[in-house]
Amino acid sequence: MKNQTIVNKLYEEALKARENAYAPYSKYKVGAALLTEDDEIITGCNVENASYGLTICAERNAIFSAVARGKTKFKSLLVVAEGEGLAKPCGACRQVMNEFGDFDVYLANTKGDIEKSTVSELLPKSFGPKDL
């Protein structure tokens, strides 16, 4: 698949996953679509909890689902949320992404705006497995 076709497919899948988000407190629904090294797309959505510390973001949900399936090498991830601005992964998500390498990360909104970044751009001067 061409890169733009992949990004479009990731966007569609992330939008679908976003519909399943459980966000009764923030009302901020987020979807993520992760492309594995073997071209499987694994999705995730945010799931909130009354005990906020137990909430999981869409990005980590997708990555942890991939790991549960034995997938640990990723090509790209797209994250989408509603709003004028683009969805941006939190610090915890950025650190989890960094654990699995420097892959492309697409930040998007439900209006169709998409911006390409990378894990290393989102988390400069990071530390991870390579540092241990």
* Segment-wise mean pLDDT, segments of 10 residues, the chain, 132 residues: 87 98 98 98 98 96 98 98 96 97 98 97 91 82
92 is in an annotated binding site: no
**Contact in structure between 116 and 86 (CB atoms under 8 Å):** no
pLDDT in the model for residue 105: 98
37 is in an annotated binding site: no
pLDDT in the model for residue 4: 84
Q: Give the β-pairing of 74-81 and 104-109.
A: parallel
Q: Looking at the chain, how many residues does it have?
A: 132
The verdict on whether 59 is a catalytic residue reads: yes
Q: Which of 12, 13, 37, 59 is catalytic?
A: 59
| Domain 1-120, CATH number (from 3.40.140.10, 1.20.1730.10, 1.20.1510.10, 3.50.50.60) | 3.40.140.10
46 class by beta-carbon count within 10 Å (0-12 exposed, 13-18 middle, 19+ buried) = buried
User: What pTM was computed for the model?
Assistant: 0.95
pLDDT in the model for residue 1: 52
90 is in an annotated binding site: yes
Q: Which residue type sits at 61?
A: N
- CA-based angle 76:108:44, to the nearest 5? 60
* Percent helix, strand and coil across the chain, each to the nearest 5: 35, 25, 40
**How far is 93 from 84, CA to CA, in rounded Å?**
21
pLDDT in the model for residue 129: 84
